[in-house]
Each structure stands twice: as structure tokens, then as C-alpha cells.
Amino acid sequence: MKFLLIMHVNPAVWDSLTEEERTAVMEGHGPFLEEITASGELIMTQALADPSQSAVVRVRDDRPVVTDGPYLEAKEYLGGYYLVDCESKERALQLAALIPDARIDGLGVEVRQVMFSHGQLDT
């Protein structure tokens, strides 16, 4: 079963962390990545650029209208994700709990099942 482990980023929470906490979170992804790669559960992971750099496209009367900034003004933004293929939802929840972000007050990892996949995965 494929799941997206979604890391929501709250810039205010992130800014309130000490330098050590931030380093711990960032470095914590290394061992997690290694573990799920070796177990044959990782499909891919991506980390996204800051939402301030986003642009939103809307097509109105067949013409694209582009606005700079994120889609919604919100406290949390999609920061990145792991796409995994694992045994069960229970296992996906276990994996999410191993992601260092899950330990931070004010942050959490969302686990959402994939319904349809298509595309070339080997690069």
C-alpha cells in the first residue's frame, strides 16, 4: 500500500526552535531515509522550497492569471513528503512516527493513502 507521509511546515514553529533542535530535526532525516531505503519501503522523497517563492496560476476566460505567493494564507504549508510503499496503514503510522518533525511541538506528519499512481519512477 502506498502512502504519502506529508510534512507540514509552520514557519513560526520552525523559527522558535533553537539551533540545536533545528539541526536535530534536519539530521534526523538521514537515518530515517537510510532505514526505509534498506527495508525497500521508500519510493521517493521531496522537500519543497519556501512557500513565499510559490506562484498560483488560475485560468480565467482561457487566460492564465498568475499571483505570487502560496495558494492559501495559512499557518502551515506543505514542506515536503516521503512516498512509501509499505505493508499496512499501521506500518505507515509507525514510519511517520520515526520522522523527526513528528516530535516537534506544533508540527505533525500527515499519513494519507495513495489512490492512483502512474509514471516513471526510475531515474
Q: Which is nearer to another protein, 13 or 33 (CB)?
A: 33
Q: Which is nearer to another protein, 52 or 117 (CB)?
A: 117
- Give, in order, the Cα–Cα distances in Å from 69 to each of 26, 32, 59, 73, 78: 25, 31, 16, 9, 13
Q: Which residues bind another protein (CB under 8 A)?
A: 1-2, 37-44, 85-87, 113-118, 121-122
Q: What values do phi and psi take at 92, rounded to 5? A: -65, -40
Q: Which is nearer to another protein, 31 or 106 (CB)?
A: 31
| CB 102, min distance to another protein, A | 23
Grid cell at residue 118: 502512474
